Amino acid sequence: MRGYYIRSKMQWIEEGEKPSSFFLNMETKHFINKTIPKLVNEKGETICKQDKILEEAKNYYKKLYTKTESLSEVNLNSEIPDSDIKKLNDTLKESLEGEITYNELTTAMRRMKNEKSPGSDGFTNEFFKFFWINVGKFVFRSIIYGYKRGNYQ
């Protein structure tokens, strides 16, 4: 932690500014507030050292997102009971197949809840609603491109 304070102070001195202890202390405080002070792992052990916390978090998410079984090993018929599932009629099936239209995409985007991020890029729904006139056609073309290539991610 002290190294971070010194590094910031040195950077300001190199840039020709005299550091203000008030702002340096605020910066250090905000940096400390961004860390996880302790973590309880799956075994119930409490971890307090930052390097161990980072390692534990990395291992947890690596395990969480590591593929453990292939789809061919999963029997969906046994996993999802058939009796409770409503079936679509042929008309509805046909209407759901194929490329999405620009109007369907616009309607879906407008109906999405605010403060949500519909993709992995971190842009919120408010962003897309606000800039839809500017980015809508690009988003639409991107979705159609992914559909045609079979890549929906």
pLDDT tens figures, 101-126: 999 999 998 898 888 777 777 788 88
pLDDT, greater one: 47 or 117: 47
pLDDT tens by residue, 5-15: 555 555 655 66
CA dist., res. 60 & res. 138, Å (int): 36
Place 2 in a pLDDT band, splitting at 50, 70 and 90: very low
| Residue 72 pLDDT exceeds 80 | no
Rounded Cα distance between 117 and 95, Å, is: 27
In a domain, 15, yes or no: yes
Do 25 and 61 reside in the same domain of the chain?
no
Nearest to 126 by CA among 111, 134, 114, 137: 114
From 52, 139, 55, select the one nearest 100 (Cα to Cα).
139
Alpha carbon of 149 to those of 26, 101, 143: distances in Å? 50, 17, 10
Q: Which pLDDT score is estimated for 6?
A: 52
**Does a structural domain hold residue 91?**
yes
Asked if residue 77 is part of any domain, the answer here is no
Q: What is the domain range of residue 101?
A: 86-149
- When divided into structural domains, the chain yields a total of 3
The pLDDT-based confidence of 1 (bands split at 50, 70, 90) is very low
- Asked if pLDDT for residue 46 goes beyond 80, the answer is yes
Same domain, 8 and 56: no
Reference 39, options 24, 60, 21, 23; nearest CA is 60
74 part of a folded domain: no
Please report, rounded to a whole number, the percentage of residues in the chain having pLDDT higher than 70.
Answer: 69
| Continuous segment of H or E residues that includes residue 135 | helix 125-149
Note the pLDDT of residue 136.
Answer: 92
Q: What pLDDT sits at residue 21?
A: 65
pLDDT average, residue stretch 17-46: 71
| Mean pLDDT estimate for the chain | 77
Angstrom distance (rounded) from CA 24 to CA 31:
10
Please check whether residues 113 and 60 belong to one and the same domain. Answer: no
* 66 compared with 1, residue with greater pLDDT: 66
How far apart, in whole angstroms, are the C-alpha atoms of residue 4 and residue 35? 13
Same domain, 56 and 94: no
* Mean pLDDT on 145-149: 86
Same domain, 42 and 30: no
Place of tokens 């500017």: 134
- Residue 16 DSSP symbol: T
